Structure 1
């Protein structure tokens, strides 16, 4: 338990470091854009390549990707039911759903678990990414009655423009086919991959912000409350209903308490909804997830 708490404290210190540097005005919006660009396009894809290269796994593990999509759809449905107007429904659909895996849960889990657990995280995120990077946005647009690109077109653009998603698809396909990348490629990728945890936590610290008008508090309480309730129910389902080894179920149970997907704020702004509320929810849930995921890891050690 002590070791887990120390590891969690180390990760939090990196987040606090980024937040402190922002408050001292040494980091700003341009810093966040720079770090996030490096993470999304270099360090995160490198982590995916390194951890999935040459991995052989049971094809039934691909069900975990499908489960990630189903869990996201459950969140989207809850968001739709919670909203009173079309705009509220769209807002909740974007900000209750989705898991921040690549920039939070992956470095978090990889810091506590072994490489086998990282494989499960990557397979889970392969399905999660399809919803976070276009699926939920397409559904939210449909609810508002907006015309334009179909969900299929949005997903297609997402897949072919997102380096992390392409990395997942490529590496899982290579693994299923029994192929692996040359060692020189892996040696190269290991260097930026080693920086992913630090940069991801630093980026979260720079992005944190909790100031908000009081009239929006009901949106935050509803969003966070429903998401947390859904996570508890899903975790119970994973524990009691899934036919997987306990080591795998532990990882999935921790993942479902990950923060709201990072793209939620982007799509909220794109739909001209309450972006400041979305940013506050994202920041608050990151702090909540640090506590809950750490507690889950400690509690599951004896299971």
Structure 2
């Protein structure tokens, strides 16, 4: 297990080193983003649904994931009064939301096998309702950062929000798989065979993407704000993990998987939204990388000590 974690960490560090050796460019992370969000992650989602039984009781995990993302967003808003607006936006966007599909899914499947992916995906369906678009709308509205968005007619604002949601292939796949689950539709074997190589590449591509995004910010204030976000995420992670272990009506294996998900890092969408609202792309990328490394360490330790394996 330690070697599995080390291998994932090596991909992050290795791609970061290659970028500084000028083998990769500063914006090459966008290529990795395109591969993860449009190819490897959707295939990993489909493969997990196709190769695991779908207990309707799993829908409780969807609801749990929604609250895990939504509640911290409002808590940070109320507790961050007095800070600059841009940094409040950074805290709200990055202290809430869990990077389940692009990070937790490949890590958990590396630790516990392909069958461990389904609980992560179910949790991410609820999480994604807020993380893929809702957090941006809520943050810019509560902090009065609407700009031209507020001046648009209601119909155009709703269309823009819908585009944020359904413009994500991963979110669309989540919704489609949820429909398949309700209708008891199975994925044909030829499709499973075709997508398996792409799904198996998800772990490598996701870690490479994180390494390519990493860049240390120059500002002391930026680093202080990142420390606040790490503190918030640690507190929320513990609360979510305790709730998952003692409240969710599942066996220990599934509860362990959800506990690991509680300590997932900042979402890719949060880094994108931070860049669009504050213009601080360097802080956004560095925050993702730092929390990803911390998450990998915490998840490795938890997997070693929890009895659900």
Partner of 1:128: 127
Partner of 1:281: 287
**Unmatched 5+ residue regions in structure 1?**
none
RMSD: 2.0
Q: TM-score, normalised by structure 2?
A: 0.90
Q: TM-score, normalised by structure 1?
A: 0.92
- C-alpha offsets along residues 100-123 of structure 1, whole Å, 9 cap, x if unaligned? 122211110110113332110111
User: 2:59 matched to 1:90?
Assistant: no
For the Cα contact (< 8 Å) 1:210–1:283, is it kept in 2?
A: no
For the Cα contact (< 8 Å) 2:213–2:286, is it kept in 1?
A: no
CA distance in 2, matches of 1:280, 1:205: 9
CA distance in 2, matches of 1:271, 1:126: 25
CA distance in 2, matches of 1:175, 1:243: 19
- C-alpha offsets along residues 160-218 of structure 1, whole Å, 9 cap, x if unaligned? 21111111111221132111232221111112112111111111111122333113333
SS of equivalent to 2:278: coil
For the Cα contact (< 8 Å) 1:52–1:172, is it kept in 2?
A: no
The residue correspondences of 1:53-202 to structure 2 (distance < 5 A) are 53=50, 55-83=52-80, 84-85=82-83, 86-145=85-144, 146=146, 147=150, 153-202=159-208
More moved, 189-198 vs 245-254:
189-198
Aligned residues between the structures: 300
SS of equivalent to 1:26: coil
For the Cα contact (< 8 Å) 2:264–2:295, is it kept in 1?
A: yes
Shift of 1:54: 6.2
For the Cα contact (< 8 Å) 2:12–2:207, is it kept in 1?
A: yes
For the Cα contact (< 8 Å) 1:98–1:260, is it kept in 2?
A: yes
Shift of 1:288: 0.9
**Unmatched 5+ residue regions in structure 2?**
none
User: 2:247 matched to 1:241?
Assistant: yes
